[in-house]
Amino acid sequence: MRIAKADVFVSCPGRNFVTLKISTDCGLSGVGDATLNGRELAVVSYLRDHLCPQLVGRDAQQIEDIWQYFYKGGYWRRGPVTMSAISAIDMALWDIKAKAAKMPLYQLLGGASRERVLVYGHCTGSTIDAVLDDYARHQASGFKAIRVQCGIPGVASSYGLAKQQGGKYEPASKGKRPEEQIWSTEKYLNFIPTLFDKIRSRFGEKDHLLHDIHHRLTPIEAARFGKSVEPYHLFWMEDPTPAENQACFRLIRQHTVTPIAVGEVFNSIWDCKQLMEEQLIDYIRTTVTHAGGISGMRRIADFAALYQIRTGSHGASDLSPVSMAAALHFDMWVPNFGIQEYMGYSEAMLELFPRSWSFADGYMHPGDAPGLGVDFNEKLAEQYPYEPACLPIARLEDGTLWNW
Ligand code: CS2
Ligand code: MG
C-alpha cells in the first residue's frame, strides 16, 4: 500500500486548525491533526516543504519505520514544530491501518480497557457567582469532572476565562500581535481557597474538581497553593510551575499531597523522564498532536505506568476534532488512563470534521467506525481560510514579562 499524496490544509472555522490528509494508491486515506496554536504556519511548512515530499511512494503500513525516519532522520530531534508534524503523520497512518483492518483504532491497539472515557469540562466565570452558575450548567449537562477557573478580584485578566459569560474559553486572539494580560500571584494565592470553599459548600464532594495554574507560580508558591487547597480534594493542580527545571517539583512534593498534572507543552518521552522517574507528578498531559502521535503516546504511557502515573491528555479546543478522535481511541485502550480533557467545539468546527465520537453523561466514546472515525470536509474548508492569531502574553503589575 503506497502513499500517493500527502496534503496539508489550514482552515479557520472560528479558530485555526492544521489538518494532514494522506492518500494511498489503494483508495484508503487517513487524517492527522498538526495544530500548534499560534504557530500553525511553521508546522504547515515543515510538513509541506520537508516531510510530505519524502512520504510519497513509501509503504503506508510502515508506521514505526516512518516515525523513526522523520525523528532520527531529521537530525534536529524533538521540538514542538517537528513533533507536531510527525504526530499528524503518525495519526493519519494509524487511521489508514485501522481502516484497512476494518476496525476502530482502539481494537487494533489491543482492545478496550474500559467501557467509556471519563472527560472533564471547563467551567469559567469572572466572579465566584458566575462560576457557580457555570458549574451548575456543567453538572446539568452531565459532567462528573469539572475544571474551575475564576477571575481574580483586582486582576484585570486571568487565565482561563471565557470572553463572554457562558461562552467557551479561547485563549488566542485574531491578529499578528499577542494580547497583553496582567498577572498578580499574591492576589491569586489569597483568593483561590475561597473559590474552592464556595464550590464544595454549594455542590458537595461528588464531582472531581480540577484547576489549571498555567505555569504561573514559583515552586514554593506552588507548594503553598497545593497545601491551601488540600481540604477541597482536587483531582489535580495543573502546571503549577514551568517544567523546564524538573528537579524543582521535588520542593512542591515535599509540602503537599494535592496531585500534580504536567505535560501539555511536552513533545517527547524525554521531557517526561525525570518527572516520572522521581515520581514528581501524578498525571501526564501529553497529547497525540504534540507528542508523536499514537506511537509517541504509547511509549510515554507505558513508561508512566512503571511509576503509577496516569494519563490526563490535553484536549483544549485548539486541538482539532481529529486529535479528539485519536485521543479517545488511545484513552479506550491505555491501561493507565486517568482522565481526558474535553472543551467541546462549535457547530462550524463539527461540520468541518464529521465524526463518530459521542458524549453522554460525562463520558465519551470514540465510536466503532473503522479507523479514527473522523473525516475532514475539504470542500467546506475552502470557506474558512487561515486567519492570523496569537496566544496572549502575561506581565506582572510592574510590567515584568511573566509566564502566560
Ligand atoms: C490549557 C490550554 O487546556 C488547557 O489546559 O492549558 O487552554 C492552553 O492554554 C492552550 O491549549 C494553548 O494553546
Ligand atoms: Mg493547561
- Distances in whole angstroms, Cα of residue 191 to Cα of each of 78, 164, 238, 378: 38, 22, 17, 47
What whole-number distance in Å separates Cα of residue 146 and Cα of residue 371?
30
Annotated active-site residue in 46, 106, 159, 188: 159
Mean per-residue pLDDT, 189-216:
98
Nine cell digits for residue 48: 509541506
Q: How far is the CA of 302 from the centre of ligand 1 (A)?
A: 24
pLDDT of residue 266: 98
What whole-number distance in Å separates Cα of residue 143 and Cα of residue 195?
19
pLDDT of residue 163: 80
- Is the CB of 318 inside a 6 Å radius of any atom of ligand 1? yes
Q: Whose CA is nearest to atom 8 of ligand 1?
A: 316
Q: Which atom of ligand 1 is nearest to the CA of 316?
A: 3
Q: Is the pLDDT of residue 62 over 90?
A: yes
Q: Nearest Cα to 293, choosing from 317, 261, 322?
A: 322
Higher pLDDT, 163 or 307: 307
What whole-number distance in Å separates Cα of residue 92 and Cα of residue 120?
26
End-to-end CA distance of the chain: 45
Q: Whose CA is nearest to atom 10 of ligand 1?
A: 316
301 pLDDT band, cuts 50/70/90, is: very high
Other Cβ atoms less than 10 A from the Cβ of 92: the count is 31
Q: Which atom of ligand 1 is nearest to the CA of 239?
A: 6
Q: Whose CA is nearest to atom 13 of ligand 1?
A: 37
In tens, the pLDDT along 65-123 reads 999 999 999 999 999 999 999 999 999 999 999 999 999 999 999 999 999 999 999 99
In tens, the pLDDT along 277-293 reads 999 999 999 999 999 99
In tens, the pLDDT along 309-354 reads 999 999 999 999 999 999 999 999 999 999 999 999 999 999 999 9
In tens, the pLDDT along 159-179 reads 888 887 767 788 899 999 999
- Is the CB of 264 inside a 6 Å radius of any atom of ligand 1? yes
Q: How far is the CA of 168 from the centre of ligand 2 (A)?
A: 15
In tens, the pLDDT along 387-404 reads 999 999 999 999 999 999
Q: Is the pLDDT of residue 44 over 80?
A: yes
* Contact in structure between 123 and 147 (CB atoms under 8 Å): yes
Task: For the domain covering 108-370, report its CATH number.
Answer: 3.20.20.120
Q: How far is the CA of 174 from the centre of ligand 2 (A)?
A: 21
- Is the CB of 390 inside a 6 Å radius of any atom of ligand 1? no
Mean per-residue pLDDT, 47-51:
98
157 pLDDT band, cuts 50/70/90, is: confident
| Domain at 3-103, CATH from 3.40.640.10, 3.30.390.10, 3.40.50.300, 3.40.190.10 | 3.30.390.10
214 a catalytic residue: yes
Outline which parts of the chain fall under CATH 3.30.390.10. Answer: 3-103
In tens, the pLDDT along 225-236 reads 999 999 999 999
pLDDT of residue 138: 97
Outline which parts of the chain fall under CATH 3.20.20.120. Answer: 108-370
Pocket test for ligand 1, best of 214, 341, 404 (most atoms within 8 A of CB): 214
- Is the CB of 267 inside a 6 Å radius of any atom of ligand 1? no
- Is the CB of 40 inside a 6 Å radius of any atom of ligand 1? no
159 a catalytic residue: yes
Annotated active-site residue in 208, 211, 214, 365: 214
| Nearest listed ligand to the Cα of residue 122 | 1
Q: Is the pLDDT of residue 148 over 80?
A: yes
